Amino acid sequence: MTNHYIPQLSTIKEVIKHTDLEYTFRMTFDGEAKPGQFFEVSIPKYGEAPISVSGIGEGTVDFTIRRVGKVTNEIFENYVGDKFFIRGPYGNGFEIDNYKGKELVVVAGGTGLSPVRGVVDYFAHHTGEAVSTTVIAGFKSPKDVLFKDDFKFWNETINVIQTVDSAPEGYEGPVGMVTKYIPDLKFENIENTAFICVGPPVMIKFTVMEILKLGVPEKNIWVSNERKMCCGLGKCGHCKIGSTYICLDGPVFNYVDGKELID
């Protein structure tokens, strides 16, 4: 019988510093993983934290981690060659096939871009597979922008709106919440759209409200929910909402089901 609680040791291959608080740790990992899935990343003594997959490479998996808690603070004390324990991947993740042939819009707030980065990147590299791809990514301020190198490439192949909530005087890029840009989106066929919305709960709520105002059917919207996934295995109960276990049934939900999830 497999003991799913035993983590494997994984070595840091690369650390990509986005901001003072957000780094991507490229870790050794052999196996399949999908964008939107998560791992339990741990350091002995500090405990485990559920972290989304922000990238998948040959023998590696990326975790973009924001320094906000006990475990993540400790993670930031580590550099290339150091090791963490990881176990996973858990959860359903995003199904790329759901978005093929669609007018795809990805709306992400802050580190919410991590779980969906793989989806955006896929369509940025395979532009023919979606009718169009638009990413609206919001960050607190210009110094909080993540994945700057990705944005450079995405800007060339897909529509990118990279906005900040507020900016110092003289900033030339878009300023304002992600919701500000939704009413201006134009579509050939509203029925053939697909929206993905990832970020803090409040941002998801208002973004979905704006999307629905466009006349987008609920079934065309996907959201990803963050909860305290303590075990990742459907046992510990912390992530349960109603009859749904986010770790098993999610974290990605079609809005038709996602709207029923009330804490």
The residues of the shown chain that bind another protein, judged by CB under 8 A, are 1-7, 9, 42, 44-49, 66, 68-72, 83, 200-201, 226-228, 230-231, 233-238, 240, 242-243, 245, 247-248, 260, 262-263
Residue 221 C-beta: closest distance to another protein, Å: 18
Q: Tell me which residue has tokens 């990509």.
A: 16
3-class secondary structure, 246? helix
Angle of helix 113-125 relative to helix 148-157, nearest 10 degrees, comes to 40
Q: Which is nearer to another protein, 174 or 234 (CB)?
A: 234
d(CA 198, CA 224) in angstroms, rounded, equals 5
* Nearest approach, Cβ of residue 15 and another protein (Å): 19
Cβ closer to another protein: 36 or 102? Answer: 36
Q: Which two tokens stand for residue 227?
A: 């909860």
Residue 175 per-residue DSSP state: B
Q: How far apart are the first and last CA of the chain?
A: 34
Of the pair 189, 243, the CB lying nearest another protein is at 243
Q: Least separation, in Å, of the C-beta of 143 and another protein?
A: 18
User: Which has the closest alpha carbon to 180: 150, 215, 143, 137?
Assistant: 137
CB of residue 75 vs another protein: minimum separation in angstroms?
A: 11
Nearer to another protein, 28 or 132 (CB): 28
Q: What are the structure tokens assigned to 126, written together? A: 């395979």
CB of 146 to another protein, least distance (A): 16
CA triple 95-10-33, angle to 5 deg: 10
Can you read off the two tokens belonging to residue 22?
């957000």
Instruction: State the minimum distance, in angstroms, from the CB of residue 47 to another protein.
Output: 5
Kindly report whether the peptide bond that precedes residue 7 is cis, defined as omega within 30 degrees of 0: no
Q: Which is nearer to another protein, 31 or 57 (CB)?
A: 31
* Pick 125 or 228: Cβ nearer another protein: 228
